Protein backbone atom coordinates (compact mmCIF):
# COMPACT_ATOMS: atom_id res chain seq x y z
CA UNK A 1 0.00 0.00 0.00
CA UNK A 2 1.33 3.45 -0.95
CA UNK A 3 1.79 5.80 2.00
CA UNK A 4 0.75 9.40 1.42
CA UNK A 5 1.52 12.26 3.81
CA UNK A 6 -1.08 15.03 4.04
CA UNK A 7 0.24 18.14 5.78
CA UNK A 8 -1.77 21.12 6.98
CA UNK A 9 -0.28 24.41 8.12
CA UNK A 10 -1.25 27.09 10.63
CA UNK A 11 -4.84 27.92 11.54
CA UNK A 12 -6.25 24.99 9.58
CA UNK A 13 -7.03 23.41 12.97
CA UNK A 14 -9.65 26.19 13.23
CA UNK A 15 -11.53 25.15 10.07
CA UNK A 16 -15.28 25.21 10.58
CA UNK A 17 -15.25 28.34 12.74
CA UNK A 18 -12.55 30.24 10.82
CA UNK A 19 -13.97 32.62 8.17
CA UNK A 20 -16.65 30.10 7.07
CA UNK A 21 -17.65 32.38 4.18
CA UNK A 22 -14.19 31.63 2.71
CA UNK A 23 -13.33 28.17 4.03
CA UNK A 24 -16.77 26.63 4.59
CA UNK A 25 -18.19 24.85 7.62
CA UNK A 26 -16.27 21.56 7.55
CA UNK A 27 -13.77 21.03 10.34
CA UNK A 28 -10.27 19.63 9.88
CA UNK A 29 -11.55 16.38 11.39
CA UNK A 30 -14.16 16.29 8.59
CA UNK A 31 -11.37 16.80 6.05
CA UNK A 32 -9.39 13.98 7.61
CA UNK A 33 -12.43 11.65 7.35
CA UNK A 34 -12.82 12.62 3.64
CA UNK A 35 -9.14 11.88 3.02
CA UNK A 36 -9.25 8.56 4.86
CA UNK A 37 -12.35 7.47 2.89
CA UNK A 38 -10.74 8.44 -0.41
CA UNK A 39 -7.47 6.85 0.69
CA UNK A 40 -9.25 3.57 1.40
CA UNK A 41 -10.92 3.65 -2.03
CA UNK A 42 -7.59 4.30 -3.76
CA UNK A 43 -5.56 1.87 -1.64
CA UNK A 44 -3.48 4.63 -0.03
CA UNK A 45 -2.37 4.62 3.59
CA UNK A 46 -2.97 8.18 4.76
CA UNK A 47 -0.95 10.02 7.40
CA UNK A 48 -2.87 13.26 8.10
CA UNK A 49 -1.21 15.99 10.21
CA UNK A 50 -1.57 19.66 11.12
CA UNK A 51 0.83 22.06 12.80
CA UNK A 52 0.88 25.74 13.61
CA UNK A 53 4.70 25.61 13.74
CA UNK A 54 6.91 26.10 10.71
CA UNK A 55 9.79 24.06 12.18
CA UNK A 56 7.54 21.10 12.93
CA UNK A 57 6.28 21.10 9.33
CA UNK A 58 9.92 21.27 8.11
CA UNK A 59 10.85 18.29 10.30
CA UNK A 60 7.90 16.24 9.08
CA UNK A 61 8.86 16.98 5.47
CA UNK A 62 12.49 15.98 6.16
CA UNK A 63 11.31 12.72 7.73
CA UNK A 64 9.04 11.96 4.77
CA UNK A 65 12.03 10.93 2.63
CA UNK A 66 11.91 7.19 2.14
CA UNK A 67 8.73 6.79 4.19
CA UNK A 68 6.09 8.19 1.84
CA UNK A 69 5.38 7.92 -1.88
CA UNK A 70 3.79 11.35 -2.17
CA UNK A 71 2.87 14.46 -0.24
CA UNK A 72 -0.25 16.64 -0.27
CA UNK A 73 0.36 19.97 1.40
CA UNK A 74 -1.78 22.91 2.37
CA UNK A 75 0.89 25.04 4.02
CA UNK A 76 -1.74 27.75 4.69
CA UNK A 77 -0.09 31.12 5.41
CA UNK A 78 3.41 29.57 5.22
CA UNK A 79 2.72 29.04 1.52
CA UNK A 80 3.36 32.72 0.99
CA UNK A 81 6.30 33.17 3.38
CA UNK A 82 8.31 30.03 4.01
CA UNK A 83 11.62 29.52 2.23
CA UNK A 84 12.29 26.85 4.90
CA UNK A 85 9.31 24.73 3.81
CA UNK A 86 10.26 25.31 0.16
CA UNK A 87 13.81 24.10 0.84
CA UNK A 88 12.60 21.03 2.74
CA UNK A 89 10.20 20.08 -0.06
CA UNK A 90 12.98 20.52 -2.60
CA UNK A 91 14.82 17.55 -1.04
CA UNK A 92 11.88 15.22 -1.68
CA UNK A 93 11.93 12.92 -4.65
CA UNK A 94 8.17 12.35 -4.83
CA UNK A 95 5.07 14.09 -6.20
CA UNK A 96 4.14 17.21 -4.23
CA UNK A 97 0.53 18.36 -4.58
CA UNK A 98 -0.26 21.83 -3.27
CA UNK A 99 -3.84 22.32 -2.08
CA UNK A 100 -5.72 25.44 -1.04
CA UNK A 101 -9.35 25.42 0.03
CA UNK A 102 -9.83 28.97 -1.28
CA UNK A 103 -8.23 30.41 -4.39
CA UNK A 104 -5.41 32.61 -3.08
CA UNK A 105 -4.95 34.21 -6.52
CA UNK A 106 -8.32 35.92 -6.25
CA UNK A 107 -7.73 37.20 -2.72
CA UNK A 108 -5.35 39.76 -1.19
CA UNK A 109 -2.16 40.48 -3.12
CA UNK A 110 0.03 39.00 -0.35
CA UNK A 111 -1.50 35.58 -1.08
CA UNK A 112 -0.66 35.62 -4.78
CA UNK A 113 2.88 34.25 -4.48
CA UNK A 114 3.49 30.63 -3.41
CA UNK A 115 6.88 29.24 -2.39
CA UNK A 116 5.31 25.77 -2.66
CA UNK A 117 3.98 26.38 -6.16
CA UNK A 118 7.56 26.88 -7.43
CA UNK A 119 8.14 23.16 -6.99
CA UNK A 120 4.70 21.56 -6.79
CA UNK A 121 3.95 18.75 -9.23
CA UNK A 122 0.29 19.79 -9.24
CA UNK A 123 -1.75 22.58 -7.66
CA UNK A 124 -5.44 22.44 -6.69
CA UNK A 125 -7.11 25.64 -5.50
CA UNK A 126 -10.60 26.96 -4.92
CA UNK A 127 -12.36 23.59 -4.74
CA UNK A 128 -13.16 23.81 -1.03
CA UNK A 129 -12.26 20.80 1.09
CA UNK A 130 -12.97 18.55 -1.92
CA UNK A 131 -9.60 19.81 -3.18
CA UNK A 132 -7.96 17.30 -0.83
CA UNK A 133 -9.98 14.46 -2.40
CA UNK A 134 -9.03 15.70 -5.87
CA UNK A 135 -5.39 15.80 -4.79
CA UNK A 136 -5.51 12.11 -3.86
CA UNK A 137 -7.11 11.29 -7.23
CA UNK A 138 -4.33 13.26 -8.93
CA UNK A 139 -1.75 11.37 -6.88
CA UNK A 140 -2.91 8.10 -8.47
CA UNK A 141 -2.09 9.55 -11.90
CA UNK A 142 1.31 10.81 -10.76
CA UNK A 143 2.58 7.66 -9.06
CA UNK A 144 4.14 5.03 -11.32
CA UNK A 145 2.14 1.79 -11.03
C1 LIG B 1 -5.24 28.65 2.47
C2 LIG B 1 -4.98 29.99 1.77
C3 LIG B 1 -3.89 30.76 2.50
O4 LIG B 1 -3.68 32.01 1.85
C5 LIG B 1 -4.31 31.03 3.92
O6 LIG B 1 -3.27 31.69 4.61
C7 LIG B 1 -4.77 29.82 4.64
C8 LIG B 1 -5.58 28.84 3.93
C9 LIG B 1 -6.42 27.88 1.82
O10 LIG B 1 -6.51 26.68 2.07
O11 LIG B 1 -7.23 28.47 1.09
O12 LIG B 1 -4.54 29.68 5.84
O13 LIG B 1 -4.07 27.85 2.34
For ligand 1, atom 8: residue with the closest CA: 76
By CB atoms closer than 10 A (0-12, 13-18, 19+), residue 128 is middle
Fold of 2-142: Rossmann fold (3.40.50)
Residue 54 has a CB neighbour count (10 Å cut-off) of 18
Cβ–ligand 1 distance for 50 under 6 Å, the answer: no
pLDDT of residue 64: 98
78 tagged catalytic: no
Residue 125 has a CB neighbour count (10 Å cut-off) of 17
Candidate list 23, 78, 115, 132, residue with the active-site label = 23
53 tagged catalytic: no
For ligand 1, atom 7: residue with the closest CA: 76
pTM of the full structure: 0.97
How confident is the model over 55-68, as pLDDT tens digits? 999 999 999 999 99
pLDDT of residue 53: 98
**Which atom of ligand 1 is found nearest the CA of 107?**
4
By CB atoms closer than 10 A (0-12, 13-18, 19+), residue 91 is exposed
How confident is the model over 101-125, as pLDDT tens digits? 999 999 999 999 999 999 999 999 9
pLDDT of residue 145: 73
Q: Which residues of the chain have pLDDT under 70?
A: none
Amino acid sequence: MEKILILNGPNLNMLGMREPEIYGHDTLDDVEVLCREKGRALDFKIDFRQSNHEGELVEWIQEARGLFRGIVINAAAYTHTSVAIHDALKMLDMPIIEVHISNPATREEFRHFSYIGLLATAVIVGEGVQGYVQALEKMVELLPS
